[in-house]
Amino acid sequence: MSLIRLEHLTKIFDGKNKVEALNDVSLEIEEGDIYGIIGYSGAGKSTLVRMINALEVPTSGKVFVEDQCLGDLSDKELRTTRKKIGMIFQQFNLLNSKTIYNNVAIPLKLNGVGKADIDKRVDELLTFVGLADRKNAYPDQLSGGQKQRVGIARALANNPSILLCDEATSALDPKTTESILDLLKEINEKLNVTIIVITHEMNVIRHICNKVAVMDYGKVVENGSVIDVFTNPQTKIAREFVGNLIHDEVPAPLVPGIRAMTENYKILRIKMKNTEHTEPLLWELNTKFEVKTNLLYCTISIIEGIVIGIMLVLFAGTDDEIRKCEEYILKCGEQYEEVEL
Amino acid sequence: MAQQLEAFLGIPLEKVIKSAGETLYMVGWSLIIGAVIGFVLAVFLWMTRKDGLKRNDILYTILNAIINIIRSTPFIILMVCVMPFTKAIVGTRIGTKAALVPLVIYIAPYFSRLIENALLGVDEGIIEAAKSMGATTFQIVIKFVFPEAFASMILGITTGTIGLIGATAMAGYIGGGGVGNLALTYGYQTFNTNLMVFTVVILIVLVWIVQAIGNGLARKRRVHS
Q: Compare CB distances from A91 to B125, B148, B222 and report the shortest one's residue.
A: B125
> Cβ A85–B132 below 8 Å, yes or no?
yes
Residue B59: left if φ>0, alpha if ψ -120 to 50, beta else—which one? alpha
Instruction: Using an 8 Å CB-CB cutoff, list chain B residues near A81.
Output: 134
Q: Compare CB distances from B125 to A80, A83, A89 and report the shortest one's residue.
A: A89
Q: For chain B, say whether A140 makes contact (Cβ under 8 Å).
A: yes
Q: For chain B, say whether A141 makes contact (Cβ under 8 Å).
A: yes
Task: Give the Cα separation of A331 and A325 in Å (integer).
Answer: 10
Residues 6+ apart with CB under 8 A from B118: B42, B149, B152, B153, B155, B156
Domain range summary for chain A, segments of one domain joined by +: 4-245, 252-338
Chain A 53-82, residues with CB within 8 Å of chain B CB atoms: 53, 55, 78-82
ipTM of the complex: 0.83
Give the per-residue pLDDT at B225. 43
Q: For chain B, say whether A142 makes contact (Cβ under 8 Å).
A: no
- Overall number of domains in chain B: 1
Q: For chain B, say whether A110 makes contact (Cβ under 8 Å).
A: yes
**pLDDT confidence bin for B121, thresholds 50/70/90:** very high
Task: Give the Cα separation of A339 and A313 in Å (integer).
Answer: 10
> Cβ B150–A97 below 8 Å, yes or no?
yes
Residue A134 Cα, gap to closest chain B Cα (Å): 13
- Dmax (CA) for chain A in angstroms is 81
Kindly state the helix (H) or strand (E) to which residue A20 belongs, with its residue range: strand A19-29
Average pLDDT, chain B: 91
Residue-wise pLDDT for B189-200, tens only, equals 888 889 988 988
Q: Compare CB distances from B133 to A91, A106, A137 and report the shortest one's residue.
A: A106
Which residues on neighbouring strands pair with residue A269, listed in sequence order?
A312, A337
Q: What angle do CA A257, A263, A269 make, to 5 degrees?
A: 65
Give the per-residue pLDDT at B85. 93
Q: Print burial letters for A286-323: b (CB count within 10 Å at least 16), e (below 16).
A: eeebebebbebbeeeeebeeeebebbbbbbbbeeebbe
Instruction: Using an 8 Å CB-CB cutoff, list chain B residues near A138.
Output: 224
- Dmax (CA) for chain B in angstroms is 69
Measured CA distances, B33 to A135, A320, B50 (Å): 38, 96, 28
Give the per-residue pLDDT at B207. 93
Residue B32 Cα, gap to closest chain A Cα (Å): 24
DSSP code per residue over A254-302: GHHHHHT--S-EEEEEEEE--TT--S-HHHHHHHHSS-EEEEEEEEEEE
From B1-15, B26-40, B106-120, B200-214, the region with the lowest mean pLDDT: B1-15
Q: For chain B, say whether A97 makes contact (Cβ under 8 Å).
A: yes
Residue B18 Cα, gap to closest chain A Cα (Å): 41
Q: Return per-residue pLDDT of chain A as tens, 341 residues.
A: 689 999 999 999 887 788 889 999 999 999 999 999 999 988 899 999 999 999 999 999 999 999 999 999 999 999 999 999 999 999 999 999 999 999 999 999 999 999 999 999 999 999 999 999 999 999 999 999 999 999 999 999 999 999 999 999 999 999 999 999 999 999 999 999 999 999 999 999 999 999 999 999 999 999 999 988 888 889 999 988 888 778 778 888 989 989 988 889 999 998 887 666 677 888 889 899 999 999 999 888 877 777 788 889 999 999 999 999 999 998 888 888 888 87
**pLDDT confidence bin for B222, thresholds 50/70/90:** low
Backbone φ, ψ for residue A339 (5° rounding): -110, 125
Instruction: Mutate one of A95, A102, A152, A198 to test the B interface: name it (highest B CB count within 10 A).
Output: A95
Residue-wise pLDDT for A135-156, tens only, equals 999 999 999 999 999 999 999 9
**pLDDT confidence bin for B224, thresholds 50/70/90:** low
Task: For domain A4-245, give its CATH number from 1.10.1740.10, 3.40.50.300, 3.90.180.10, 3.30.160.60.
Answer: 3.40.50.300
A56: helix, strand or coil: coil
This prediction's pTM: 0.85
Instruction: Using an 8 Å CB-CB cutoff, list chain B residues near A170.
Output: none
Q: What CATH number is given to the structural domain containing B141?
A: 1.10.3720.10
Superfamily of domain A252-338: ACT domain (3.30.70.260)
Q: For chain B, say whether A107 makes contact (Cβ under 8 Å).
A: yes
